[in-house]
Structure 1
Amino acid sequence: MRFDQPPVVRVKPERHGDGPPLEPWLLDVPAVQQVLRDGLDLAPGVTFLVGENGAGKSTLVEAVAMAYGLSPEGGSTQGWHRTRPSESALHNELTLQRGVGTGSWGFFLRAETMHGWYTYQEGVGGHDLHAMSHGESFLEVLRRRFDSPGFYCLDEPEAALSFSSSLTLLRTLHDIAEGGGQVLCATHSPIVASLPGARVLEVGPWGLRETTWDDLDLVHHWRAYLAAPGRYLRHVLADDDDE
């Protein structure tokens, strides 16, 4: 079933619930500051957050996923599991404006905690994903779970994927968008971020800014490195005495 509006129209800076207060370090992250001040409109289809480590991509995706009702360690709206709480309290400060008439299905694929989710799935009679390679298990999750017009949050899904498997992920995200679903994805991959028609937000000291794939710093650096690896490696591998 295709909906007239996306599952999430807007992320609003509005506290809900009785959770713990916001950790002070979050207020030092420009992207978090911006969302807490201005909110964030989510486009229909696919939105990518791209930026360096520590810029706030994963923190934002985690908070939006939790505000939607998803487990911070991954999985769907129909299952909740937790091993070691490590999430921030940012989700308590955000309220999601839902699309009118949309369903509640969602899924959070978080690369660093999927091993625990696989174990949880075994415990509730799910497929034995541990029997597969890391990349194969990710592809199986895509095949089995990413098949309806829901809300999908992904945190660095490329971590387990080869070049060809990353292209399979792109096809999956394309099909979700075409079917009326919505995706919010944090990524370091120039392949994943290249999906035609996606909204690209670059995350950095400026906060969040909309850009194009061609203008991403990530893409510039990968192009330059692949064209001439030595220009980078002579600095990375140089002895301290040679610098």
Structure 2
Amino acid sequence: MEEINYNTFIREVKINKEKIENINEYPFSLPIIKHLERLKMHPKVTFIVGENGSGKSTLLEAIAVAYGFNPEGGTKNFNFYTKNSHSILYEYITLVKGIKSPKDGFFLRAESMYNLATNIDELDSVLGPGARVIDSYGGKSLHDQSHGESFFSVMLNRFSKNGIYILDEPEAALSPCRQMSMLTRINELVRENCQFIISTHSPILMTYPDSTIYEIKDSKIREVNVEETEHFQITKSFLNSKEKFLNILLND
């Protein structure tokens, strides 16, 4: 019998298919949603990987919103939005939670990081000296840092122990070196009872050992190891046979 870890903040994600009226409408028309019933989360790190348009970010967003996070990112206390573009999928999923609730949490997404940084600056302009939100993010406006620096600043300063962290393509702003640093930071937080759910294209991040990797491919989702992922295989093949690939890709 499979052992259940009841201390996991999010143990499982279930799609409530019986509530869906038209499976051919977006987001239910996404192949991954059509074929998905439930997805078990790793107690430490779960990766969801797949090609662009596979539905991984849509699924991750639904998990985050269903958990109570702002669709554009931040903690549960953020309620800003610049465009109401998130899907209704969150209304059709059930999150199976553990017996303990996290003391911290954050939804970090690459595409709306600018909006998050702007909202923090706007809040601080209203609150004034002595109660700055940015102090929890390292004390320096995220707009005054590069995209990658602001991403890493959030992870270093705002993430803390006993937290649930949902990250949508965090490598988008990070160099390969910083992605390795991110592995170190993830490991530090995992040791402090944190859980991560991450959508990514990065083979570097996927190498984190104590994790589960779900790959969306051919309209299905299955658990794989990092070496089996298409991202890892293509990257490795390209680097090992660079000239061959370039001849094929650039041949007129």
TM-score normalised over the length of structure 2:
0.86
Aligned residue number for residue 180 of structure 1: 193
Greater mean deviation of Cα atoms: 23-32 or 105-114: 23-32
- Aligned-residue sequence identity (percent) comes to 35
Is the 2:62–2:87 Cα contact (8 Å) retained in structure 1? yes
1:133 to 1:62, Cα distance in 2 relative to 1, 3 A? same
1:77 maps to a residue whose letter is: K
Indicate whether 1:234 and 2:247 are aligned: yes
Amino acid at match of 2:184: R
Deviations 1:157-200 (CA, angstroms, capped at 9, x unpaired): 00111121111111122122222211110000110111111111
Deviations 1:127-167 (A, max 9, x none): 21100111111111011122122211111100111121111
Distance in 2 separating the partners of 1:39 and 1:177: 24
The range that moved more, 47-56 or 224-233, is: 224-233
Asked whether the 8 Å contact 1:44–1:177 carries over to 2, the reply is no
Q: Residues 14 and 93 of structure 1 are in contact (CA less than 8 Å); yes or no, is this contact kept in structure 2?
A: yes
Aligned to 2:30: 29
Q: 1:129 aligns with which of 142, 148, 153?
A: 142
Are 2:105 and 1:106 aligned? yes
Distance in structure 2 (CA, Å) of the matches to 1:21 and 1:178: 43
d(CA) in 2 for partners of 1:103 and 1:220? 36
1:73-101, CA deviations, whole angstroms, 9 ceiling, x for partnerless residues? 11011222110111111011012122112
Is the alpha carbon distance of 1:218 and 1:129 closer, same or farther for their aligned partners in structure 2, counting shifts above 3 Å? same
User: Which of residues 181, 194, 218 is equivalent to 1:205?
Assistant: 218
Cα 1:115/1:23, change in 2 over 3 Å: farther
Q: Which residue of 1 aligns with 2:153?
A: 140
Structure 2: which amino acid aligns with 1:109?
L
TM-score under structure 1 length normalisation: 0.89
Task: Tell me how far 1:48 sits from its aligned partner.
Answer: 0.4
**One-letter identity of the residue aligned with 2:9:** P
The equivalent residue for 2:114 is 115
Checking the alignment, whether the CA contact within 8 Å between 2:35 and 2:219 is kept in structure 1 is no
For structure 2, the residue ranges without an aligned partner over 5 or more in a row are 125-132, 135-140
Gaps (5+ residues) in structure 1?
none
Structure 2 partner of 1:13: 15
CA distance 1:21–1:102, shift in 2 (3 Å): farther
- CA change 1:135–1:85 in 2 (3 A) is same
Contact 1:22 1:90 in 2 (8 A): no
Cα distance in structure 2, aligned partners of 1:76 and 1:174: 21
| Partners of 2:244 and 2:86 in 1: CA distance | 38
Q: Distance in 1 between matches of 2:204 and 2:39?
A: 24
Aligned partners of 1:23 and 1:88 also within 8 Å: no
What is the SS of the residue equivalent to 1:148?
A: coil
Considering Cα pairs closer than 8 Å and 6+ residues apart, tell me whether 1 or 2 has the greater RCO.
Answer: 1
Q: Secondary structure at the match of 2:231?
A: helix
Deviation, 1:232, is: 2.0
Distance 1:22 1:108, change over 3 A: farther
What residue identity is the alignment partner of 1:122? D
